Amino acid sequence: MSGSVRVALHVRGLVQGVGFRPFVLRQARRLGLSGRVWNTSEGVEIEAEGPPKAIAALQDTLRREAPPIARVDGVEVETRSPTGESGFTIVQSERRAGDAALVSPDVATCDACLEELWDPANRRYRYPFVNCTDCGPRFTIVERVPYDRPFTTMRAFDLCPACAREYADPNDRRYHAEPNACPACGPRLSLCLPDGAVLDVPDALEAAQERLRKGEILAIKGLGGYHLACLARAEDAVCRLRARKGRPRRPLAVMCRDLATARDLCRISAIEAEILASLRRPILLLAVREDAPLAPSVAPGLTDVGVMLPYTPLHHLLVAPDDLAVLVMTSGNRSGGPMVAEDAEAIARLGGIADAFLVHDRRIANRCDDSVGFVLAGAPGGDRLVLVRRSRGFVPLPVDLPVHTPPGLAVGAMLAETFALAAGRRAFLSQHVGDTDDVDTLAFLAEAVEGLRRWLGIDPEHVACDLHPDLPTTRYAEGLGLPVVRVQHHHAHMASAMAAAGITEPVQAWTCDGTGYGPDRTTWGCELLVGTSGSAQRVAHLKPMPLPGSEAAVRRPLRTAVGWLHAVAPATADLPIGLWTRARLGELIWIRQMVDRQVRVPLASSAGRLFDAVAAILDVCDDATYEGQAAMELEHLARPAEYADGPRLTLDLASQAGPIVLDPSSLLEGLATAHAAGQSRVVLAARFHAAFAAALVETSRRVAAGGGPRRVLLCGGTFQNQILLRACALGLAAAGLEPELPGPVPTGDGGVSLGQVLVAAAVAAGQPGRVEI
């Protein structure tokens, strides 16, 4: 063709497994171009030949009209010599070393597929695995890149002629839909007993639903693992699930059939509705209605419940009947263990919990829990999604880094663990791994690291871990034979928040959480750091307080309360408060002696412990059965009075030379005294939040006034507390400072690995990567 040119277009971004090649093919044919398109390990490669105008039009549509799940990060263009090729085709993928292509996270079932699911005339009527190029499993079925059926767990299923036709037809919406399947050729459901015996039932799904109606607990194999399910309104079923799982109070998530059903349970804002129904479908924490038809044991002590909408065809079918429209759906693991994904493992692990197993024969390549978040309303900058756990729907999308890093691995801390692999300007934050004080979880960590490393082709030159010498993750890092970079926990929190916000210049960062190992060998957890990922200074902190019995105090907030009151407000011992009567025989004397003699009472400047102490003083929680329980229940107690006016409580700021010290003595004494005088616990809980936030804000104001940065980051698990987060954000803004709030990167320990990546990159660049005290 005269006047023809040929170009090569290298497309980078989220372009595999999202219908990108068929999209290119349709556009190229529409524009009368010849050439080819294929997946590479780096993305999608296009060679197109034709009139320059049509080539330009193709380049334009690549960005503007890309499929809904796709994300084009960049297109590089190179000129080639025309070959006179005719027609446009998709060619077989090639595998090349180098930078990794982005694979899509799993995507919720699209409307077109749902229509087929409910259409009795369609050959996929009620087929639990219907999907297309716009929806379906992705990350959870990928074994390696490029994303092609032979490299997914769908390779076990041969396409039937009808499915093969769809797969090969560029005009079909299932053209190159890698998980394409139908009842004739695809995965199937079956129902098993806890001993693994397969039940001979005509319809496994209906039989499972019948069992749920009777109040049974079912283990249900989903996208990234097993859920444990039961009727959400049946208190006896929920209690049985809790008893068998060994999880007395930790909140359970529910799955609702649709938005209307979710609105019967919760108050839902427009933005919350949008996120619930989005392609990612995270669990959102939503305010429960008083009259919600929900068993009290779903989320005891809390005013929120975690809600998600169905995200696979199986889930849509499962919750379709009116009497099953709200189900408890909690991760199928033993308490603390990783999400169970292998079938044999599921039977072994969950056999004592579930009455029956609804399973299917599509293998899960990558385990992936549900993501969890909430919408923070009423803070400066508008409503925002804050993720507590970043997993399904988000993983394996990378986080863009504000700096360049050599290839590196970061293994995170101990709880709510993620790891990260990074190279260049990208960090791949893993799915939620679990708590690595559990041996199984540590094994899963090693397996997942190896999987992702192979998958991304990143060969780490160093490994970053926590400064704490005794964490399982630290020992795992030391065993890898790579140079180890030890990162202080709160410095990692700070760097993580900087990466998430794309900041490199010095900031103030409040890092508040339960526990982190400080460079002075004490426990930290309420620190104001100033600096960068390269180096930071501890400019303020909570007064170090005694932890009677160390770890035992973490599990029993009552101990912390007794110890702290004795240490800083001994006069409260004569007040008529419930704390003194609830303590066990001899416990008071023994704790007070420990504190006096300073035997087995490590010091901690921990915000988490401060919330624990206040929760126990206000009769909210004596024993924590899950991480953060006391703080969560205290926050939820305070919610009705969040904006109430009244006499203020204060946290005193003391500074001689050196760091500003936040002294909780008079605050604790004030709370105990007011509680003894019969003041409302709700109001006191709210005033405690206000006092703590005011102290953080005032400290930051002083630091900024003394020439410190005006930007203030709020990071660490304590900032999952919405009242605290909102009060700090509003207070900082009112003081003329610039608050930076958490968002899509978890502010808790799930984000620590990202921060470790940044600090390790700074160390590789010759900076100290330390916190100075």
Question: Interface residues with Zn ion (CB under 5 A)?
Answer: 110, 113, 132, 134-135, 160, 163, 182, 184-185
Q: At closest approach, how far in Å is the CB of 722 from Fe ion?
A: 18
CB 513 within 8 A of CB 606: yes
Q: At closest approach, how far in Å is the CB of 141 from Zn ion?
A: 15
Select from 134, 146, 126, 148 the least CA-distant residue to 106: 134
Q: Angle between the 629-638 and 722-734 helix axes, to the nearest 10 degrees?
A: 70
Dump strand ranges (E) for 544-655.
Answer: 545-546, 603-606, 652-654
CB 661 within 8 A of CB 653: yes
The encoded tokens of residue 442 equal: 């540590």
Q: At closest approach, how far in Å is the CB of 180 from Zn ion?
A: 7
Residue among 146 and 717 whose Cβ is closer to Fe ion = 717
Per-residue mark of binding to Fe ion, 473-502 (x: CB under 5 A): ------------------------------
| Sign of the CA dihedral running 634, 639, 645, 651 | positive
Rounded to whole angstroms, the Cα distance separating 609 from 406 reads: 37
Residue among 513 and 669 whose Cβ is closer to Fe ion = 513
| Sign of the CA dihedral running 473, 475, 481, 483 | positive
| Site of tokens 């890898």 | 480
Contacted by 113, from Fe ion, Zn ion, none: CB < 5 to 8 Å by type: Zn ion
Dump strand ranges (E) for 532-620.
Answer: 535-542, 545-546, 603-606
Contacted by 749, from Zn ion, Fe ion, none: CB < 5 to 8 Å by type: Fe ion
Contacted by 135, from Fe ion, Zn ion, none: CB < 5 to 8 Å by type: Zn ion
Instruction: Spell out a b/e string for 380-410, using b for 16 or more CB atoms within 10 Å of the CB, else e.
Output: eeeebbbbbbbbbbbbbbbbebebebebbbb
Residue among 167 and 580 whose Cβ is closer to Zn ion = 167
Rounded to whole angstroms, the Cα distance separating 650 from 666 reads: 7
Q: At closest approach, how far in Å is the CB of 186 from Zn ion?
A: 6
Contacted by 160, from Fe ion, Zn ion, none: CB < 5 to 8 Å by type: Zn ion
Q: At closest approach, how far in Å is the CB of 313 from Zn ion?
A: 9
Q: At closest approach, how far in Å is the CB of 564 from Fe ion?
A: 21
Site for Fe ion in 252-281 (CB under 5 A): none
Residue among 177 and 674 whose Cβ is closer to Zn ion = 177
Q: What are the φ/ψ torsions at residue 559 (nearest 5 degrees)?
A: -60, -45
225: exposed, middle or buried (Cβ count in 10 Å: 0-12, 13-18, 19+): buried
Contacted by 754, from Fe ion, Zn ion, none: CB < 5 to 8 Å by type: none
The answer to the question of residue 513 lying near Fe ion (CB under 5 A) is: yes
Contacted by 449, from Zn ion, Fe ion, none: CB < 5 to 8 Å by type: none
Contacted by 513, from Zn ion, Fe ion, none: CB < 5 to 8 Å by type: Fe ion
Residue among 113 and 771 whose Cβ is closer to Zn ion = 113
* Ramachandran quadrant class, 731 (left: phi over 0; alpha: psi -120 to 50; beta: rest): alpha
Rounded to whole angstroms, the Cα distance separating 310 from 688 reads: 39
Residue among 134 and 749 whose Cβ is closer to Fe ion = 749
CA distances from 157 to 178, 180, 223, 229 (A): 11, 10, 17, 28
Contacted by 189, from Fe ion, Zn ion, none: CB < 5 to 8 Å by type: none
The answer to the question of residue 627 lying near Fe ion (CB under 5 A) is: no
Residue among 182 and 660 whose Cβ is closer to Zn ion = 182
Site for Fe ion in 37-96 (CB under 5 A): none
Sheet of strand 43-50: strand arrangement: 71-80, 5-14, 43-50, 34-40, 88-90
Contacted by 184, from Fe ion, Zn ion, none: CB < 5 to 8 Å by type: Zn ion
Residue among 132 and 154 whose Cβ is closer to Zn ion = 132
Q: At closest approach, how far in Å is the CB of 608 from Fe ion?
A: 9
Binding residues for Fe ion, rule CB under 5 A, total: 2
Contacted by 185, from Zn ion, Fe ion, none: CB < 5 to 8 Å by type: Zn ion
Residue among 163 and 539 whose Cβ is closer to Zn ion = 163
Q: At closest approach, how far in Å is the CB of 489 from Fe ion?
A: 6
Rounded to whole angstroms, the Cα distance separating 390 from 418 reads: 9
Site for Fe ion in 721-760 (CB under 5 A): 749
* List of residues contacting Fe ion (CB under 5 A): 513, 749
